[in-house]
Amino acid sequence: MLDWSSSLQGLAGGVLIGLSAVWLMAALGRIAGISGILSALVLERPKGDTAWRLTFLLGLISGPLLLTALGAFGNVAGQPGAVIGAPAGGVGLMLVAGLLVGVGTGIGSGCTSGHGVCGLSRLSPRSLAATVTFLATGIVTVFVVRHLLGGGA
Amino acid sequence: MTSAMLKPIAGYLAGLLFGLGLALGGMTDPARVIGFLDLAGAWDPTLMFVLGGAVVTTFVGYRWVLRRRAPLFAGAFQLPTRRDLDAKLLGGAALFGIGWGLSGYCPGPAVASLSGLSLPLAAMLTAMVGGWWLARRLG
């Protein structure tokens, strides 16, 4: 089912994400890969290369907060006005999922932003392979959880 | 102003644009992300529009930016140079996709949702950082 207003908002949101990636490259010469930026901030704090990661994190959090304060432009399915949707499961599921996301993006050197947005834009074969792979396992996982096991999210 | 002062400001602006884009695009709603991955269910195309808008914008913008000799506030562009595929890349991406499908969270939206903190989200973020630590140990 195609919902044009959420799709158009999605397109506009995607353009903003693209502008963020272009700006980060223009200003600091960096790939806008969230897992890379934040894992180095939390685990390594490289000298002279940490402050911008911290402010990036603050900006990332303040974006949705700003929309919440405005009380407009949220895009949560079936909840007009809401900006942040509810988690898809409980603590146990999220611990497993979080560990997989952390280990996977750590070993695979990137996530949806680094490989999916920046890597595809650079026509990187590694990022194309990674993006196809995580889309495929994501689709299979949802199929198994929703349609074979019939539970979960 | 020196670049030591400008770098954090530039970083904040990039993060803010990214967070606004995620929220406007509905990516801070795990139900939309899982709905996109659910090809056999009531498919939600929103993520496709987000990724499409982001990739086209970045593709065009990078072409323009990377013609410059250096970034505005740093010495050089830092671009990945590897082009080979290996088991770590594909295995890592495969594990990430499973976690993404289970939760509807990739790292950006999970962190950007912090102002709506709940116990499950806190568990997700804590385990994700633990996973990053573990990946460095394994790597």
The per-residue pLDDT for B4 is: 82
Does residue A108 have a pLDDT over 70?
Answer: yes
A141 Cβ under 8 Å from any chain B Cβ: yes
The per-residue pLDDT for B61 is: 98
Residues of B with CB below 8 A from A104's CB?
92-99, 131, 135
Does residue A47 have a pLDDT over 60?
Answer: yes
Question: Roughly how many angstroms between the first and final C-alpha of chain A, as a whole number?
Answer: 19
Residues of A with CB below 8 A from B98's CB?
100, 104, 137-138, 141
The average confidence (pLDDT) of chain A is: 95
Residues of B with CB below 8 A from A4's CB?
none
Does residue B58 have a pLDDT over 50?
Answer: yes
pLDDT in tens, B35-56: 999 999 999 999 999 999 999 9
pTM: 0.96
Q: Nearest by CB to B114, from A61, A122, A135: name it.
A: A61
Residue A57 distance to chain B (closest CA, Å): 6
Does residue B3 have a pLDDT over 80?
Answer: no
Banded model confidence at residue A4, pLDDT cuts 50, 70, 90: confident
Does residue A152 have a pLDDT over 90?
Answer: no
CA distance A6 to B32: 10
Tokens 């509810």 correspond to what residue?
A: A86
Residue A48 distance to chain B (closest CA, Å): 8
CB atoms within 10 A of CB B136: 13
Yes or no, beta carbons of B66 and A73 under 8 Å apart: no
CA distance A118 to B59: 8
Q: What secondary structure letter does DSSP report for A108?
A: T
pLDDT in tens, A137-151: 999 999 999 999 975
Banded model confidence at residue A57, pLDDT cuts 50, 70, 90: very high
Residues of A with CB below 8 A from B130's CB?
98-99, 102
- Segments making up each domain of chain B, as ranges: 3-138
Residues 65-104 on A with a CB inside 8 Å of B are 65-68, 73-78, 82-104
Per-position DSSP letters for A22-61, written without gaps between them: HHHHHHH-----HHHHHHHHHHT--TTSSHHHHHHHHHHH
Buried/exposed A25-59: b ≥16 CB within 10 Å, e otherwise: bbbbbbbbbbbbbbbebeeeeeeeeebbbbbbbbb
